Amino acid sequence: MAQAGWKEFPEPYDGSRQHRDFWVSWEYSVRNQELPADELAWYLRHARRYGGTVLELGCGSGRVLTAMVKRGVIVDGVDISQSMINATRSSLAEIGFSNSVGLHTGDMATFEFPREYASVQIPYNSIQYLGTVERISDALSHWYREMNVGSTLLFMTYHRKESWYSQGRRRHYKKDPVRHAGAGISVTHEVEECLVGTSTVHRTITRSIVDDTGIKDSWTEESVVPLLSAEGYGELVRAAGFVVNTFCDYSEERTWDGGPMACHVARKGTSVGA
């Protein structure tokens, strides 16, 4: 099957990995078309303060990357999902920036930087998709080695707040189905989350592809999300060699599905810890 762009849908639906990836990236794109102005302001302010080219790790369907590029920031993007990269490429083409952005399919944890970046940004909670504290630590050390002295790393996390799981340490919710009228398909999305210990959430996402005849396909993805406190992330960042410049707690005004979000900014100094 040819790699589909964001708005072309692969037909007929065959439940293959590529089809599932396509519909996940399509659903993500549709659900996240809006980028809240205050969230974008974080990324823009950071990019403009340090100037130069930005690398976005875990760029997804280009929600942030496209908005930044539109506002004159040079951004390259990396995502592990080819379908997400296709979606980003389509969004960029729509605003006429197809050739000026470097898009790469790859694992952020081991990605070798193809050029120098003034800053590296990991919007939303993509860093937590690495799944374990060890993987996050290893990735931070890898980015430290790849980054230039003086360049900065910004990442967002949602972090632990005791009240989040106060009701039985378990949450279950469904998102509204997203319908693609042209394909006659809806994507449903149901999440089960359980706090294990004090710093790990086990998450199960069940997605179904539904057409007029009923459920065509349904699958479950399990993941583990490390939920460190903001200070906990600060320790990991420092252990990798970075200087932690700022940390901002979004808790009161911005939430991720009920959990507080934090924004971390770190810098690679002239010597370790400097």
Ligand X SMILES: C[S@@+](CC[C@H](N)C(=O)[O-])C[C@H]1O[C@@H](n2cnc3c(N)ncnc32)[C@H](O)[C@@H]1O
For binding to ligand X (CB under 6 A), which residues are involved? Answer: 32, 58-60, 63-64, 78-81, 84, 107-109, 123-126, 129-130
In the three-class reduction of DSSP (H, G, I as helix; E, B as strand; rest coil), residue 175 is classed as strand
Which residue's beta carbon is nearest to the bound ligand X?
60
Q: Cβ of residue 21: shortest distance to ligand X, in angstroms?
A: 9
For 74-149, strand residue ranges (E) read 75-79, 103-105, 119-122
Nearer to ligand X, 32 or 243 (CB): 32
Nearer to ligand X, 64 or 103 (CB): 64
Q: Cβ of residue 26: shortest distance to ligand X, in angstroms?
A: 12
Nearer to ligand X, 64 or 92 (CB): 64
Q: How far apart are CA 30 and CA 12, in angstroms?
A: 21
Q: Cβ of residue 189: shortest distance to ligand X, in angstroms?
A: 13
Strands 170-180 and 185-196: antiparallel
Q: Which two tokens stand for residue 265?
A: 């900014």
Q: How far apart are CA 33 and CA 173, in angstroms?
A: 21
Nearer to ligand X, 121 or 186 (CB): 121
Q: Cβ of residue 243: shortest distance to ligand X, in angstroms?
A: 24
User: Of 238, 165, 229, nearest to 195 (Cα)?
Assistant: 165
Radius of gyration, alpha carbons of the chain = 19
